[in-house]
Amino acid sequence: MNKAKDIVLIGGSAGSYTLIVQILEALPQRFDAAIAIVIHRNPRFTTKIEETLSIKLRRSVIQPRDKTAIAPNIIYFAGPGYHLLVEPDWTFSVDVSERIHFSRPSIDVLFDTAAEVYQDRCTAFLLSGANQDGADGIRRVREMGGKAIIQSPDDALIATMPTYAIQANAESDVYDDQQIISFFRKLT
Amino acid sequence: MAKLISSHITFQELQDIVELLGKVSGFDLSGYSKSSLKRRIQRILDLEQMDVVDLKNAIVNVEGFQTYLINEVTVNVTEMFRDPRYYMALRGDVLPYLETFPRLKLWSAGCSTGEEVYSLAIVLAEADLYKRSFIYGTDVNSNVLETAKKAIYPLKRFKIYSENYNATGTCNSLSDYYTAMYDAAIIRADIRKNVLFSQHNLATDYVFNEFQFISCRNVLIYFDLELQRRVFQLFYESLSEFGFLCLGAKETMVNHEIRSKFKVVNKEFNIYQKIK
């Protein structure tokens, strides 16, 4: 099975959804990386993010199941109620361990495990949100040789999450929305 | 904070720990999903403020530490009527079939603190099947089984349990099935009657009975494909003809050959029936 050699991560919470849609709309038809996204969402309300986006974008938008191989050109969303993790054999796993920063799925969990497996082939974006999830994950991505980018708090609808991540990670890259969208437009 | 950064364990260290534990105890974690297990071990190191050397030393030399480690590594998140629509699916797709068996043996594998076992007992009782049923709850973690046997839970949890239960489309009230006292609640005696909890390790133990129904939800996600294969074989051998196997929402049999011996009864909730 063909597995993605590069992974691009997006972590967002309150106020990030509109930008995520813009990002995905900007994507080229074909790219070799896999995209994995964690948005904080409540398992008690069924949302149809994947279905809606699949139709809107006319491409595969998937909630990975346990041990799903990470494939190129696919957009994955962490399902509500489960952490999404990357395993060393380039598959996803899920678990229901403790919430991190009151969140399951947690951005830190995905970023931490993906950073370790993909190392310098991992790029992570942390967007708008109202809590502190993602700051540790950003640090891990950088430690493992990956590239970490934080949305400019000036552009974020709710600046708490990016602001905290910037404070916790001196010298991290901060992009405004146009720079972020531009990155995805040129994704290979 | 600096210590936390430098103390992240590597996959190699994880493997060393797993091998050591396997050598000096009966606990075999070699088939666990690596990244998930690594985070569990990391969590224990952070909680106990240990490094890898401390941990290995404790595994070998500290009495009771091996059991503590296993109990902490295993994840024990459960609720009564977790995923309410799963219980609706049981009522609609499974119970009408189970009714045709003269005696019912059910197995909740990885039952944690027992909430699922009692939820099943309630659903069976409401279908007038409980008096001819017996439910076995097993887990690798000895601590949670003690809670399961007592059937006493913090009262504050029953707010969510009741919401779940109401969402299963019942006309009854969950409060009919427990007695509250101070800040705790005990499951009613007639619901506790036909259940048995015991320790069983899916990674190393074998078939112990024949069942018409096995529920194993959110357990296989912690296992790699090889260990999953073992467990599916174990379930297959433990099921009677036309017995049911229920998995968690994110779990799937598609990666395994044994899938061909089962029919999908409910795709959304991963309910399978043994047909060969």
Q: Which of A67, A96, A98 sits opposite B218 (nearest CB)?
A: A96
B5–A143: do the CB atoms touch at under 8 Å? yes
A93–B40: do the CB atoms touch at under 8 Å? no
Q: Is the separation of the CB atoms in B237 and B231 below 8 Å?
A: no
Would you give per-residue pLDDT tens digits along chain B (276 residues)? 334 445 789 999 999 999 999 999 989 999 999 999 999 999 999 999 999 999 999 999 999 999 999 999 988 889 999 999 999 999 999 999 999 999 999 999 999 999 999 999 999 999 999 999 999 999 999 999 999 999 999 999 999 999 999 999 999 999 999 999 999 999 999 999 999 999 999 999 999 999 999 999 999 999 999 999 999 999 999 999 999 999 999 999 988 999 999 999 999 999 999 999
CB pairs under 8 A between A and B: 63
pLDDT digits (tens, 9 = 90+) for A102-129: 999 999 999 999 999 999 999 999 999 9
Domain limits, chain A? 7-185
- B218 Cβ under 8 Å from any chain A Cβ: yes
Q: Which of B8, B39, B221 sits opposite A66 (nearest CB)?
A: B221
pLDDT at B3: 42
pLDDT at A171: 82
Q: Is the pLDDT of residue A3 over 80?
A: yes
A66–B252: do the CB atoms touch at under 8 Å? yes
Q: Is the pLDDT of residue A131 over 50?
A: yes
Q: Tell me the CATH number of domain A7-185, given options 3.40.50.300, 3.20.20.80, 3.20.20.70, 3.40.50.180.
A: 3.40.50.180
Mapping DSSP to helix (H, G, I), strand (E, B) and coil, where does residue A10 land? Answer: strand
Burial B233-247 (b: 16+ CB within 10 A, else e): ebbbebbeeebbbbb
Centre a 10 Å sphere on the Cβ of residue B87 and count the other Cβ atoms it contains: 25
- A88 Cβ under 8 Å from any chain B Cβ: yes
Q: Is the pLDDT of residue A170 over 90?
A: no
The residue with tokens 């929305």 is: A177
Nearest residue to A66 via CA among B218, B72, B177, B65: B218
3-state secondary structure chain B: CHHHHHCCCCHHHHHHHHHHHHHHCCCCCCCECHHHHHHHHHHHHHHHCCCHHHHHHHHHHCCCHHHHHHHHHCCCCCCCCCCHHHHHHHHHHHHHHHCCCCCEEEEEECCCCCHHHHHHHHHHHHCCCHHHEEEEEEECCHHHHHHHHHCEEEHHHHHHHHHHHHCCCCCCCHHHHEEEECCEEEECHHHHCCEEEEECCCCCCCCCCCEEEEEECCCHHHECHHHHHHHHHHHHHHEEEEEEEEECCCCCCCCCHHHHHEEEEECCCCEEEECC
Distance between CA atoms of residues A166 and A150, nearest Å: 7
Q: Which residue of A has its CA nearest to B220?
A: A66
Mean pLDDT across chain A, nearest whole number? Answer: 94
Cis before B154? omega within 30: no
Query: Which of A95, A98, A110, A119 is best to mutate for the B interface (most B CBs within 10 A)?
Result: A95
Q: Which residue has the higher pLDDT, A46 or B232?
A: B232
- A143 Cβ under 8 Å from any chain B Cβ: yes
pLDDT at B5: 45
